[in-house]
Amino acid sequence: MSAAKDPRVGIYCRVSTASQSVDPQEAALREYAIRKDWTQLRVFKDHAVSGARDRRPALDQLMQECRRGSVDLVLVWKFDRFGRSTRHLIEALEEFRQLRIEFVSLTEAVDTATPAGRMFFSMIAVIANFERDLIAERVKLGLAEARRKGTRLGRPPKKDIRPEEAERLRRDRARGKTTLRALARKYGVSVWRAHSLCSGLKTTVS
């Protein structure tokens, strides 16, 4: 990939708290764009939005514009201003690659239009895969250790309910004064089990 001479640039800025301002990020990114003679700029700002949040209005809007083909290059202040996690960063960069969109992180001096930038992100992808493999291995070891100690895994078995209890549950439900959730708590069964026992039952108010 190679950036257009005057690409359509999507500048993304984010701060985590209301006491912070995106202005310093925006000013630095605009200055960088001016030095590059980039004139087609759109700024997307998330203010007081945590980096861990799954939904960020401005970031979501930026990604939509990228998918519409309205952005040629994404410019950010720093990786952690953009990515929710290493995995999210890698996935976004892969999507940009497929969409032929360049990505520039100013403070890390990384530009995917350059061979060094592409190599850097290839290394991050390898590290991210290694991290996923480590997590999967830890989970497997934890499950194996739990089985060795005789710990029951998975959901607990369904509680058996005696016929007379089932009948009382249905009577309570028929009176129309008790919710399924309350019945489930009262008789120690799941809400779905309570629903199944009452299936087809018409409620009346006594």
Active site residues: 16
Angle formed by the axes of helices 86-99 and 115-148, to 10°? 140
Strands (DSSP E) along 73-155, which ranges? 73-76, 102-105, 110-111
Alpha carbon distance 14, 139 (integer Å) = 34
Neighbours of 186 (CB within 10 A): 14
List phi, psi (to 5°) of 56.
-130, 115
Beta-bridged to residue 43, according to DSSP, are: 11
